[in-house]
Amino acid sequence: MTRLQNKANIPDSDSFYEEFLDLHQGCSRDESDALNVSLILLLANHIGDHEVLREAMQVAAQVVLGSKPEP
Amino acid sequence: MRTFETPLYPYERSPDQDASMPARHPVVVVGAGPAGLAAAIDLARRDIPVVLLDENDRVSYGSRAICFAKRTLEILDRLGCGDEIVDHGVTWSRGKVFFRDRCIYEFDLLAEEGHRRPAFINLQQYRLEELLVGRLRDLQSEGRPVELRGGSRVTKVEPAAASVLLTVETPEGPYRLEAEWVVACDGAGSTVRRELGLEFAGRVFEDNFLIADVTMKADFPTERWFWFDPPFNRGQSALLHKQPEGLWRIDLQLGRGVDREEEQRPENVVPRLRQMLGDDVEFELEWISVYTFQCARIDRFRHGRVLFAGDAAHQVSPFGARGANSGIQDVDNLVWKLERVLRGRSPDSLLDSYDAERVPAADENILNSTRSTDFISPKSETSRLFRDAVLNLAETQPMARPLVNSGRLSLPHVYLDSPLQSPDTDGLPARTRPGSPAVDAPVGDGWLLARLGDRFQLLALGNCAAETGCAGVPAGIRREAPASGSSAALGIDVPDDEPGLEVVSQPAGRHPLLNERYLGDAPGALYLLRPDQHVAARFTDYDPERIADAFRRARARETDDP
Ligand SMILES: Cc1cc2nc3c(=O)[nH]c(=O)nc-3n(C[C@H](O)[C@H](O)[C@H](O)COP(=O)(O)OP(=O)(O)OC[C@H]3O[C@@H](n4cnc5c(N)ncnc54)[C@H](O)[C@@H]3O)c2cc1C
């Protein structure tokens, strides 16, 4: 069974985080939203595993909304 | 006069109107749209007397369906009018997708080889109906028992113990008919449904869409063009699609709360079309109308002796071309069952399988067309954000293109959970698993599907084929539907009232595509096929008991006491 990686998995995570924020430098709210959504789509396609993606959605919903979405 | 304005089956007085008691008919079909016409044709071909009633006397008014999918064309082949219909249609495979002011990508839907029929054709619905009426007339002149009564509106439906009473309104006043079975194909606003007090539950979409049919003076490429948020229709969508006879279909999303009358005025439509087609393209408007839609269905398609099919049973959004296609597929599923029940060959519980098989098919269509609708007209800020990101990415990133949803091709439903089907046998290709419609393939100088349908058949392939005689099926089994009981040649007991199983055999080696689609790596297989060409069971060896068992199940028979 594939599982969502919830242990730290990005070497040099500080620099990744910085790059991520830099990407949004000088962007309007709309541009930032569009960037984020495009990133989600690209990364989701790269992962490709529907199970893993579903688990990520559930974890995000749990953290943000305090609940799991209906499957 | 345009085709859809010409009376095709004017009202004529029927002797039933002068009968002292309501005349009794085995089957009355209400509504002569695509579903009702197909039902009447299929019943007549089986020599089941059928009366088809329509409140009108001509084909569907104006421009509606244009896209007919492969499975529908295969059913029309079985009904004996596939060639005429396909010859009138146009096929296309290339298209362009536009976002705002630019073309983001082009595509070519390369069809899989080895099928008699293309993935779909474009043809005006009124032309399809006209050709179906022609087929019905041919059957009449062959002496088949079918009547088409125009100007006959069903106003009242009263279910009784062993029949249904119908009141029919005509220009000369009302009369009553008694039907053993009613097939209700009277469209989205079904009177029969209302008369039975059935709820049509679902989701109403508030967007208005304008359809315009235009003829172009000059050549224009035979391609499907779809625009998201174009400059000439800001915040909405647009579609340009080819029809036969130099006609083009234009579909403009108008949004909510618009003035429908105002939008349909040529002086408002023409400038938009100019922007869409370019200033140098000369065109003439043939038809303009505005429509809205809902995605809904009734809870069950069988209500006693009344069977619902087509839009009367379910309605979907036009995206993905599923309405008329699924109506014809409903009828394909229903008519052979009705014949068996009428002839006393199966219990009437066989008709419950119509419900069990076609309700999930309707749900699949509703799901697909709702997804397309949600992509085309996003209902929230976030869904628009995702939609626009998909479109922007699609220009350079092929990964995003499968997410672009401007309507998915209508594919036939696989009856996976059907009570008629037997457990699958391992090791055979997934696409022909039980529940699937038989997949076409070239055989000899013809096509597999041309040899299948209308009765139960055993397709013997590879080393199970009769000619080789090896894995069990005796050589030299008849190819024609046998006289009653003669399935004995197969060692399968069949009751006297049963026409039995016809064997269609194809030895190994000769037809690579057939083998790929039905055998995979197996050396041979036996497929039990239903009269609607769907697979009921399949085996890799010859076991008369298992075959007889699957055959029994597929006919909803508990036992076959001869
Ligand atoms: C713009 C548009 C585009 C579409 N595109 C497609 C497409 O590309 N592909 C596709 O498959 N589908 C498409 N559809 C859907 C398609 O038109 C319908 O799903 C199809 O017509 C349904 O066929 P039907 O036979 O069930 O009902 P209908 O075609 O609605 O026929 C019902 C018939 O019943 C008759 N009737 C009604 N009430 C009574 C009564 N009380 N007594 C007697 N007769 C009665 C009517 O006169 C009519 O002839 C489209 C629809 C629209 C609006």
pLDDT tens figures, B417-435: 999 999 999 999 999 999 9
pLDDT of B381: 95
Asked if the model's pLDDT at residue B151 lies above 80, the reply is yes
Distance between CA atoms of B85 and B325, rounded to whole angstroms? 14
First to last CA, chain B: 59
Query: What is the length of chain A?
Result: 71
pLDDT of B53: 98
**Angstrom distances, CA of residue B383 to CA of A39, A70, B375, B510:** 15, 18, 8, 51
Q: How much is the mean pLDDT over chain A? A: 92
CB contact under 8 A, B385 and A34: yes
- Could you give the percent of chain B with pLDDT greater than 90? 72
pLDDT of B168: 98
Å between B228 CA and nearest CA of chain A: 17
Q: Which residues of B touch A38 (CB under 8 A)?
A: 389, 392-393
First to last CA, chain A: 18
Q: Which residues of A touch B405 (CB under 8 A)?
A: none
Interface size, chain A vs chain B, as Cβ–Cβ contacts under 8 Å: 23
Distance between CA atoms of B95 and B109, rounded to whole angstroms? 8
B399: closest chain A residue by CA? A45
Pocket residue to mutate for ligand 1, from B52, B53, B55, most atoms within 8 A of Cβ: B55
Nearest to residue B79, comparing CAs of B27, B124, B146? B146
Contact in structure between B308 and B190 (CB atoms under 8 Å): yes
A44: closest chain B residue by CA? B399
Distance between CA atoms of B418 and B535, rounded to whole angstroms? 11
Rg, Å, chain B Cα set: 25
Q: How much distance in Å is there from the Cα of B222 to the middle of ligand 1? A: 26
CB contact under 8 A, A45 and B399: yes
Contact in structure between B164 and B64 (CB atoms under 8 Å): no
pLDDT confidence tier of residue B357, bands split at 50, 70 and 90? very high
**Angstrom distances, CA of residue B6 to CA of B2, B57, B60, B430:** 7, 8, 11, 47
Both structure tokens of A19 = 């790059």
Please give the domain boundaries of chain B with CATH numbers for all domains: 3-88+122-201+295-368 (3.50.50.60), 430-554 (3.40.30.120)
pLDDT of B467: 46
Distance between CA atoms of B436 and B528, rounded to whole angstroms? 12
pLDDT of A2: 65
- Between positions 1 and 60 of A, the ones with CB within 8 A of B are 33-34, 37-38, 41-42, 45
CB contact under 8 A, A41 and B385: no
Asked if the model's pLDDT at residue B103 lies above 60, the reply is yes
**Angstrom distances, CA of residue B552 to CA of A5, B436, B455, B468, B545:** 51, 19, 14, 27, 10
Both structure tokens of B344 = 């006393």
Q: Which ranges in B278-351 belong to alpha helices (H)?
A: 323-342
Distance between CA atoms of B288 and B126, rounded to whole angstroms? 15
* Residues with Cβ within 8 Å of residue B216, at least 6 apart in sequence: B246, B248, B277, B281, B282, B283
Q: Which residues of B touch A41 (CB under 8 A)?
A: 386, 389-390, 393, 399-400, 403
Q: How much distance in Å is there from the Cα of B437 to the middle of ligand 1? A: 24
B506-529 mean pLDDT: 89
**Angstrom distances, CA of residue B258 to CA of B191, B255, B379:** 29, 7, 17
Three-state SS sequence of B457-483 = EEEEEECCCCCCCCCCCCCCCCCCCCC
B354-370 mean pLDDT: 95
- Tell me phi and psi for residue B308, to 5 degrees: -95, 140
Q: Where are the domains of chain A?
A: 13-65
Residues facing B273 on adjacent strands = none
B3-12 mean pLDDT: 89
Residues facing B447 on adjacent strands = B442
Asked if the model's pLDDT at residue B468 lies above 50, the reply is no
Per DSSP, the three-state class of B374 is: helix
ipTM (interface pTM): 0.94
Residues facing B202 on adjacent strands = B296
- Tell me phi and psi for residue B23, to 5 degrees: -65, 140
Q: How many helices (H) and strands (E) does chain B have?
A: 12, 24
Find how far residue B231's CA is from the centre of its chain: 36
Asked if the model's pLDDT at residue B194 lies above 60, the reply is yes
Atom 31 in ligand 1: residue holding the nearest Cα: B33
Asked if the model's pLDDT at residue B480 lies above 70, the reply is no
Cα B404–Cα B212–Cα B108 angle in degrees, nearest 5: 35
pLDDT of B479: 34
Distance between CA atoms of B323 and B365, rounded to whole angstroms? 9
Q: Report yes or no: A61 at the B interface, CB cutoff 8 Å.
A: no
Contact in structure between B123 and B244 (CB atoms under 8 Å): yes
Both structure tokens of B49 = 């007397």
pLDDT confidence tier of residue B490, bands split at 50, 70 and 90? low
The minimum-distance atom of ligand 1 relative to the CA of B325 is 11
> Would the CA dihedral through B297, B300, B301, B305 be positive or negative?
negative
Atom 35 in ligand 1: residue holding the nearest Cα: B31
Asked if the model's pLDDT at residue B487 lies above 50, the reply is no
